[in-house]
Amino acid sequence: MVTQSRPGRSLRGRARDAVLLPVLAAICAAPYVLPPRAFDQRHPDKFDPPFEVAQWTVALPILAIGLLLTRRQYPRTTLAAVVGLAVVAVSVNGAVLTMALPVMVALFNLALRTDRKTWLVAAGITAAAVTLPIVIRYPSMWPQVFGIVFWVALPPAIAEAVRNRRAYLAEVVERARRAEETKEQEARRQVAEERIRIARDLHDILAHTIAVINVQSGVAAHVIDGDTEQARQALVHINDASDTALQELRTMLDVLRQDGDQTAPTRPAPTLRDLDELVDGLRASGVAITVQTTGDLDEPATEVGVVAYRVLQEALTNVLKHARASAVQVRATVDGDGVDLEVADDGVGSPDPPPVGHGRMGMRERVHSVGGTVQDGPVAGGYRVTAQLPSTTSRSRR
């Protein structure tokens, strides 16, 4: 697969070429222009270059260096042209070393920008093309074949190492990006869950209290002229319900504002052990409530106990709001299998279930959050809500 150059990287490549290619050209042309002593320090007066010089061949390595300017855009074509010039140079005068650097740079570039199969084939063809003229025309130079094979194999090996390093760094960057993305998604999920939890808690606090206040204020308005004592009791219940709601709201706001301060005062969340207090507040509304409990109400995990309390609270609140019931039966059974809840009334409300508002939705979400089930709907002579909860949750078992 050919890699695509980025604009910034291309500019940096041109800047490197402006420095590197002239240096390569000077190195390749050196054997043609250096004085004889550069080649044989033992006989400085003897001109004995390492190969027979044809004057026009000095242009071949210079031309090959110039072709390297196109190596990024046309890696295959550039390598083919450079190898062709190398074959000409070797065929004319056996000038292997003068063409080695251009060929190595072109091979490195091809291996860096293409797949392994491509550069393996290219390296094999290059080695064969350069060594064949030597074997045919200069039999005495055949030991150089091993050196040619080495410098043909070296650039692709280096390019493969560079590409593997780049791939590794890219994988590290990608993993870091995915981890950050996952972290952000988890943070958003937690924020959404917390927002839903706060909405449920606010509904549980306010809906129940407002329903009690609504019923009690209606009682007070109805009897205030004829039974001042009952009216006074209704107002007392309104005051008590308001105080309870304010305390729970204050506790919630304190928790939201504490910002990690574990010393901030908090009120324990109500659980099944607070069932009597919940029922007493509703009995004052004139509804006859019968409570039947079996087992230890403190046995369930705290989270399960809170969910059970909120389910009963929502069911009893709906009795006040919708059922127009005169009697309600509440059953809570705790055993080794979990918690069974039931709230049944004799109301004459709508034969269809009330619309799924925030209260019923929150009740179902709470039950499902601990792995339980809930059913509600009209029955003969009233309305019934049942729920089955596990005694512990997966989080409490850890």
**Strand 288-294 to 327-335 pairing:** parallel
Rounded to an integer, what distance in angstroms lies between the CA atom of residue 217 and that of residue 213? 6
Question: Which two three-digit tokens encode residue 195?
Answer: 């927002």
Question: Which of these, 199, 219, 200, lies nearest to 320 by C-alpha position?
Answer: 219
Other CB atoms within a 10 A radius of the CB of residue 91 amount to 17
Q: Which of 60-74, 91-105, 329-343 comes out lowest in average pLDDT?
A: 91-105
Name the pTM for this structure. Answer: 0.49
Chain centroid, CA 12 distance in Å:
34
What is the per-residue pLDDT across 341-368, written as a single tens digit (0 to 9) for each?
A: 999 988 765 555 555 566 778 788 888 8
Choice between 266 and 182, residue whose per-residue pLDDT is larger: 182
Name the residue among 314, 326, 366 with its Cα closest to residue 196: 366
Question: Does residue 284 register a pLDDT over 60?
Answer: yes
Tokens of 385: 């809500």
Closest CA to 110 of 165, 70, 146: 70
Q: Could you tell me the pLDDT band of residue 133, with boundaries at 50, 70 and 90? A: confident
* Closest residue by Cα to residue 95 from 40, 35, 30, 41: 30
How far is it, in rounded angstroms, from Cα 341 to Cα 335? 12
Q: Assess contact for 93 and 55: CB atoms under 8 A.
A: no
122/204: higher pLDDT: 122
Q: What is the pLDDT of residue 1?
A: 46
With cut-offs at 50, 70 and 90, classify the pLDDT of residue 11: low
Average pLDDT, integer, range 209-235: 77
Most confident listed range (136-145, 247-256, 353-362, 363-372) = 363-372
pLDDT of residue 198: 77
- Which residue spans within the chain are E strands per DSSP? 288-294, 327-335, 338-345, 373-379, 382-389
Q: Are 379 and 369 in contact (CB under 8 A)?
A: no
- pLDDT tens-digit readout, 77-132: 999 999 998 888 888 776 677 788 888 889 999 999 998 899 999 999 999 998 88
Average pLDDT of the chain, as a whole number: 77
Quick one: pLDDT at residue 369? Answer: 86
Domain limits, CATH 3.30.565.10, in the chain: 274-398
- How far is CA 59 from its chain centroid? 57
Residue 50 confidence class, pLDDT cut points 50, 70, 90: very low
Mean pLDDT across 281-289: 75
Phi, psi (degrees; rounded to nearest 5) at 378: -70, 145
Strand partners, 332: 293, 341
Burial of 142 (0-12, 13-18, 19+ CB in 10 A): exposed
pLDDT of residue 372: 92
Q: What is the DSSP letter of 148?
A: H
pLDDT bracket for residue 395 (50, 70, 90): low
CA-closest candidate to residue 343, choices 290, 390, 307, 272: 290
The pLDDT tens digits for 166-197 are 999 999 999 999 998 888 888 888 888 777 77
What is the percentage of the chain residues whose pLDDT exceeds 90?
17
pLDDT of residue 154: 92
Q: Is the pLDDT of residue 42 over 50?
A: no
- Mean pLDDT over 219-243 rounds to 77
Options 3.90.960.10, 3.30.565.10, 3.30.460.10, 3.90.78.10; CATH for 274-398 is 3.30.565.10
pLDDT at 54: 52
The predicted pLDDT at position 366 comes to 84
- pLDDT(217) > 70: yes
Distances (CA, A) of 42 to 36, 46, 51: 11, 9, 17
The segment with the largest mean pLDDT, out of 41-55, 61-75, 146-160, 285-299, is: 146-160
Instruction: Inform me whether the pLDDT recorded for 324 exceeds 60.
Output: yes
Tell me the CA distances in angstroms from 236 to 213, 222, 260, one per residue in order: 10, 15, 37
